[in-house]
Chains A and B, each alone.
Chain A
Amino acid sequence: MFDMEIFRMIGSGLLETLYMVLVSTAMAYVLGLPLGIALVITDKDGIRPMPFVNRFIGIVVNVLRSVPFLILLITVLPITKKIVGTTIGPNATVVPLVIASAPFVARVVESSLKEVDKGVIEAAQSMGASPWKIVYKVILPEARPSLIVGGTIAVTTILGYSAMAGIVAGGGLGDIAIRYGFYRYQTNIMLVTVALLILIVQILQEIGMKLANIGDRRNG
């Protein structure tokens, strides 16, 4: 029912989607991980309480998270143009994806790190560990399984966002679904792209859970 042309298009759409999602997730973690760590250590029960800093980061994160992705996508177009030089295609989509998902990642990281037993942190303090050493030798390794689960959630959420970017010609499978399935009523193409998106989510989810369990020593 499809000719080679369409196969090729869906194939490159798939690659574009994977590219956008992976690059955005990586960059979102570059920004979100330090923010999440900062939220945890500056908390009033954290290892370096700084109420003002904590408040400030919290508000910035909340504001960014409150903006619906579609609105953000359009609002940041001028910024995208400045950074990437264009507003269409996968490279352009990475910008709003990172802006939208970094604060999300910060919250996911925060909740993972807060699961670390306070007693273990106290034990490290009693050994004369500095806050910095507590972060990278205790909190991050102890939270590793939970961070991986969080990463799986983040990557699938970003995949969903990336599909939405099709509305502004953002490239990838979402773009194809909207152009062919929505604008041209070619339902079969839309169904194929949606099926591919579902498949990607399934695979990412499986990999994430496997990694989390392999790395977790809490269950013997």
Chain B
Amino acid sequence: MSSGNPIIRIEGLSKTFQGVSGDISALEDISLEIREGEIFGIIGMSGAGKSTLVRCMNFLEKPTKGKVWFNGRDLSQLTKKELYQIRRSIGMIFQQFNLLMQRTVAGNVCFPLEIAGVDKKAAAKRAEELLTLVGISDRADSYPSQLSGGQRQRVAIARALATNPRVLLCDEATSALDPSTTRGVLTLLRDINRRLGITIVVITHQMKVIEEICSRVAILDSSHIAEVGSVEDIFTRPKTSAARRLVFPEDPSMGKLSGTRCCRIVFNGNSALEPVIAEMVLEFRQVVNILFADMKNIDGKAFGHIVIQLPDSGMVADRMMEYVRSKGLTAEEVEGYV
């Protein structure tokens, strides 16, 4: 769990790339703190600068302006050797896994240890441990080309953990995987965070990934940070339009209804799976129209959100919102939704 001390601190960071037709600004004035032990999400549409931001955290990209501190050390002040050393404390996994295709699974996990100068026997032993941890110890002698996407990502995770890093950076780590494999990999990441206390930074364009494992999230929108906060806060009460766009993805069918009030009900797991909406309809004898719903059942608790269109009568609508709140749910009126 989060101890609150910042392990990565970014201040006033900007990054511009030299393009063919002038400079392209990828990040502007980013300030962030990632606390030790948390799972921190960075979400944004493609092209928002997420990948560049995560690469600034281990200096694969050098910021044009601003500073990055890792565990209190200013990365820009390090010599090359010191930087190589520090990178061993920052593991990284990628969308395309980036495994060495000519090495076995075990060989891949040993690779960072070879670079760090660990002797062969100790490295092999550590690789075995890690492959057991990620659940593919039976494939140690296979080559990456013989594995599925999910298995490859597990190898990549084992490899990233080999040097006992304090932080694991995940760059769209589940974007190339199907939903059920994604869930498996996310569960593994959460496990690693809890059991080994490793801070995890997750870069993604999928809100689902953030909801699933992150405790805090930053929303990156066209090179800027639009919002930072706990996932619950941002999910329940998104303040900026960038956040709203990510929380409820646009559905083209929604523009057709108009003129009535809408209410968004958020299920934070506070209520058991009781048919709140159905009971409300029975209670008020007024129908509501469900416009959007994204729900899931985790350990018998309801998580997710529903957008309903309230009845025309203002009084009934107000009382319905009261009713929902009395059930321990968050209800807020949303405008411009229909």
Contact = CB atoms under 8 A, between A and B. Distances in A.
Contacts of B99: 120, 123
B235 interface: no
Contact of A123 (B88, B92, B146): B92
A123 B93 CA distance: 8
B143 A217 contact: yes
Contacts of A220: 143, 145-146
B116 interface: yes
A215 B103 CA distance: 11
Given A119-B94, A217-B145, A219-B145, A126 B87 contact: yes
Interface in A87-137: 117, 119-120, 122-130, 133, 137
Given A122-B60, A138-B100, A142-B102, A128 B83 contact: yes
Contacts of A129: 84, 115
A128 B146 contact: no
Given A119-B98, A123-B92, A128 B111 contact: no
A184 interface: no
A217 B108 CA distance: 13
B96 interface: yes
A58 interface: no
Contacts of B83: 128
A128 B86 contact: yes
Q: Interface on chain B toward A: helix, strand, loop, or mixed SS?
A: mixed
A70 B258 CA distance: 83
Max chain B C-beta neighbours (<10 A), residue from A128, A217, A218: A128
Contacts of A144: 102
A141 interface: yes
A14 to B, nearest CB: 36
B276 interface: no
Given A120-B100, A128-B85, A137-B115, A218 B60 contact: no
Contacts of A217: 101-103, 143-145
Interface in B109-126: 111-112, 114-116
Contacts of B92: 123, 126-127
A70 B33 CA distance: 67
A126 B90 contact: yes
Contacts of B199: none
A127 B163 contact: yes
B174 interface: no
A220 B143 CA distance: 7
A125 to B, nearest CB: 6
A124 B143 CA distance: 18
Contacts of B114: 137
A21 B88 CA distance: 46
Contacts of B144: 217
A211 to B, nearest CB: 14
Contacts of A124: 111, 115
Contacts of B111: 124, 127, 137
B58 interface: yes
Given A117-B98, A120-B98, A141-B102, A126 B116 contact: no
A156 B44 CA distance: 53
A66 B85 CA distance: 45
Max chain B C-beta neighbours (<10 A), residue from A127, A133, A137: A127
Contacts of B103: 141, 217
Contacts of B143: 217, 220
Contacts of A141: 100, 102-103
Contact of B116 (A117, A128, A218): A128
Max chain B C-beta neighbours (<10 A), residue from A117, A120, A142, A216: A120
A120 to B, nearest CB: 5
Given A137-B111, A217-B101, A123 B94 contact: yes
Given A120-B99, A120-B100, A217-B102, A127 B145 contact: no
B145 A130 contact: no
Nearest to B116: A128
B207 to A, nearest CB: 25
A127 B110 CA distance: 12
The 10 A-B pairs at the shortest CB distance, nearest first, are namely A128-B87, A128-B84, A123-B98, A119-B98, A126-B92, A217-B143, A127-B112, A220-B145, A128-B88, A129-B115
13 contacts: A119-B94, A122-B94, A123-B98, A125-B60, A126-B58, A128-B85, A130-B84, A133-B115, A137-B114, A144-B102, A216-B102, A217-B145, A218-B101
Given A123-B94, A125-B87, A128-B112, 13 more contacts: A119-B98, A120-B99, A122-B94, A123-B98, A123-B156, A126-B90, A126-B169, A127-B87, A128-B85, A128-B86, A141-B100, A144-B102, A217-B101
